[in-house]
Amino acid sequence: MFYKLSFFLKEFFSPINVIRYITFRTVLATLTSLFISLFAGPVFIRAVRHLSHPTLEELQDTHQEKAAIPTMGGLLIVGSILISVFLWADLNNIYVLMLILTTAWLCLAGFWDDWLKLSKRNPKGLRPRVKLGAQISLGVILGALLCWHPALQQFDTRLYMPFFKHASFELNGFYLILTTLIITGTSNAVNLTDGLDGLATGTVLMVAITFGAISYITGNLVFSEYLNIPFIPGTGEVTIFCGALIGASLGFLWYNCHPAEIFMGDTGSLPLGGIIGLLAVLVKQEISLIIVGGIFVIEAVSVILQVASYKTRKKRIFRMTPLHHHFEKIGWKESTIVIRFWIVAIIFMLFTLVTLKIR
């Protein structure tokens, strides 16, 4: 909104022209979503305090004290992001619109899932096929837009290899399949990671910072040529969305860190995962997503290995999955697990940024 207003207001007050700069609007978007989530947090927590009564199947014996903590905090995160983006981003940018669609779509799916768990006292919530169908259908829509929408004819559907200057594979229509797999995979991976106070929120924050820097580079012709990475016109505006995500995550983490006052629930974890997946696609870091989102990958793989091992050998690899619960079972404190996972996430973040130069 303010971006469009700046073109009109600059005729009367020339300093307002600074709003047209992506870096300036990214900072303001970050601060806006941060302040919204921080100051609206207490009011929101009081409003949803009755939305807490998970069944015993949802919590480990060591976490029964968390039964009174409200959930659906994802509404606070998503609301902070969307308000900030509405105020500071160029809403004519198709990449921003795709991110808004992803956020709203998966937030609704997560809200439906959480609501069924709470209102019906049903620990399973949405049937897996329904939840998976919502994720896959969104991925198909996004993939189709990237492959065939007239406004995205300049979008590069090649798959680039990190560490190599000229290694890429043209996927054409198969890029739709890749996009669908990424959106579905990351959405579920973040959902699996959301099991300890602040774990998913803090890790999402690291990924958002990484993709914020990369989106600015890919949208800048000079920087992208210098680092020899694909130049994608229009993706610079994605930096503003990343800023809003960073601010909202920081603000929510204030109330979600140990001991948590609120949980994000599927209302937050599903859209945050989808956003991360789409960001990786838009900035051409599909392979690097495995690195920067390493915590999410490890958590998801631990579940896959555990299920496969039990079905084939009737033996478990870990004491409990996702992996963070395994460390709880061997005696690590919750805060210790979260901070150590954050440290690993920071290492993954720095390594991903280094790959931009090592080519």
Q: What is the pLDDT of residues 197-249, one digit of tens each?
A: 999 999 999 999 999 999 999 999 999 999 888 999 999 999 999 999 999 99
Is residue 218 within 8 A of residue 235, CB to CB? The reply is: yes
Helix (H, G, I), strand (E, B) or coil at 139: helix
- What value does the mean pLDDT of the chain take? 91
Percentage with pLDDT > 70 across the chain: 92
**pLDDT attached to residue 121:** 66
Which pLDDT band, with edges at 50, 70 and 90, does 55 fall under?
Answer: very low
Question: Is pLDDT above 50 for 57?
Answer: no
Token code pair at residue 219: 């949208």
**pLDDT attached to residue 64:** 61
Question: Is pLDDT above 60 for 299?
Answer: yes
Percentage with pLDDT > 90 across the chain: 75
**pLDDT attached to residue 177:** 97
In degrees and rounded to multiples of 5, residue 267 shows phi and psi of -60, -30
pTM of the model: 0.93
Question: Is pLDDT above 70 for 56?
Answer: no
Buried b (16+ CB within 10 A) or exposed e, 272-296: bbbbbbbbbbbbbbbebbebbbbbb
CA distance linking residue 228 with residue 232, whole number of Å: 12
**pLDDT attached to residue 192:** 95
Sign of CA dihedral 307, 70, 292, 21: positive
Is residue 59 within 8 A of residue 117, CB to CB? The reply is: no
Token code pair at residue 58: 């949802």
Judge residue 31's burial from the number of C-beta atoms within 10 Å of its C-beta, 0-12 exposed, 13-18 middle, 19 or more buried.
Answer: middle
